[in-house]
């Protein structure tokens, strides 16, 4: 996929509020089955449960790496939407705290931009399942912009 195609895919998603084609265009997002949508101008991120995201078959629980990868994407798309920057933000560091195991349920994610400078952004992330008051993981990360 060329830069122009990817840019068009993003612009079409922003204009229509339909992010399915964008998620399909990103192989890793497709692999974990991530869904992005927009309600009243607010971005929503969901990771519907699927068996291939399991990282502990005994509990069972989602793989910690999936939760991290999902939150990384939540940050990337929140930053892209907030700045409408040209290029995809690049992760510099990512620190995640696992607060409870991710059960075999849908997972939701939110990104708060703590500080956005010209070159770098600091973000705070949270992931939860059926109860937003009981987060599964929280994370903070830095991204290079543009």
Partner 1 sequence: MAVINPKMFEPLWRWFMDLPHCKVLGIEYVGAEEGVVELRLPYSEAIVGNPETGVVHGGAVTTLIDTASGTCIYTLLEETEAVATLDLRIDYLRPALPGEAIICRAECYRLTEQIAFTRAVAYQSEREIAHGVGTFMRTRVGSGA
β-bridge mates for residue 115, sequence order: 122
Stretch that binds partner 1, among 36-44, 49-57, 109-117, 121-129 (CB under 8 A): 49-57
Nearer to partner 1, 62 or 79 (CB): 62
CA-wise closest residue to 49 among 101, 102, 105: 105
Token pair listed for 26: 């990103």
CA 76 from chain centre, in angstroms, equals: 7
Residue 132 found at the interface with partner 1 (CB under 8 A): no
One residue of 20, 86, 90, 115 binding partner 1 per CB under 8 A: 90
One residue of 13, 23, 32, 145 binding partner 1 per CB under 8 A: 32
Nearer to partner 1, 42 or 58 (CB): 58
Q: DSSP assignment, residue 53?
A: G
One residue of 40, 42, 97, 130 binding partner 1 per CB under 8 A: 97
CA-wise closest residue to 42 among 72, 11, 19, 21: 19
Residue 109 found at the interface with partner 1 (CB under 8 A): no
Distance CA 39, CA 41 (A): 5
Stretch that binds partner 1, among 11-19, 63-71, 78-86, 115-123 (CB under 8 A): 63-71
Q: Which helix (H) or strand (E) holds 27?
A: helix 27-32
One residue of 13, 36, 96, 111 binding partner 1 per CB under 8 A: 96
One residue of 42, 93, 130, 131 binding partner 1 per CB under 8 A: 93
**Residues 136, 102 contacting (CB under 8 angstroms):** yes
């Amino acid at each position: 996929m060329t830069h122009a195609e990817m840019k068009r895919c993003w612009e079409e998603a922003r204009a229509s509020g339909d992010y399915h084609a964008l998620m399909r265009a990103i192989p890793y997002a497709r692999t974990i089955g991530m869904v992005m949508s927009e309600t009243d101008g607010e971005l929503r991120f969901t990771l519907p449960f699927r068996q291939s995201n399991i990282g502990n078959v005994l509990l069972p629980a989602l793989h910690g790496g999936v939760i991290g990868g999902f939150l990384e994407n939540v940050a990337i798309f929140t930053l892209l939407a907030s700045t409408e920057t040209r290029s995809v933000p690049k992760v510099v560091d990512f620190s995640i705290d696992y607060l409870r195991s991710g059960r075999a349920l849908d997972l939701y994610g939110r990104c708060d931009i703590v500080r956005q400078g010209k070159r770098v952004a600091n973000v705070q992330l949270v992931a939860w399942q059926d109860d937003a008051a009981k987060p599964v993981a929280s994370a903070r990360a830095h991204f290079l912009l543009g």
